[in-house]
Amino acid sequence: MKNTKKTILPVFLLLFLVTLFLLSGETMALTSCIANFTVVGGVCVPLSTYVGLSDKSVGDILTAVMQWLLYIVGTIAVIAFVISGIQYLTAAGSEDQIEIAKRNMKWSVVGITVVLSGLIIINFVDAIFRGVVQK
């Protein structure tokens, strides 16, 4: 028990000091920059018109990338479902081909379900962080 107390105290002290340092840094933020620069979070950064950078935050960019990837995977899952339907129609009574088509349909439906739930979760979490969710 004594060993735990000896290790917990320095960890909490370190966390307290880091928090204190970060909070004090916000109060000493920059208020002005040189020409063609702007203050963002207390840091002097070049304007996006001069460097070609996006004005979006990292969270916005990550959300857009995740949604884009989920749309791509969803489209592939729907195409796989259509191909499975074609396999089922062209099986011509072959039990092996019918089973393969059914298995492919089942997994493409699972893929569509995962993609749709992923989109719902990403949009919900994004709305929570933006403070848009209504009770």
Hey, what's the torsion of the CAs at 112, 115, 117, 121, to 10 degrees? Answer: -170
pLDDT single digits (tens) 77-127: 999 999 999 999 999 889 999 999 999 999 999 999 998 898 888 888 878
pLDDT confidence of 133, banded at 50, 70, 90? low
Domain boundaries, the chain: 2-51, 58-130
Q: Is the dihedral of CA 61, 63, 66, 70 positive or negative?
A: negative
Supply the Cα-derived Rg of the chain in whole angstroms. Answer: 26
Give the whole-angstrom CA distance, residue 114 versus residue 44: 42
pLDDT single digits (tens) 1-35: 556 656 776 776 677 666 756 555 544 445 567 77
At residue 27, the pLDDT reads 47
pTM of the model: 0.55
Contacting residues for 18 by C-beta, under 8 A, at least 6 apart: none
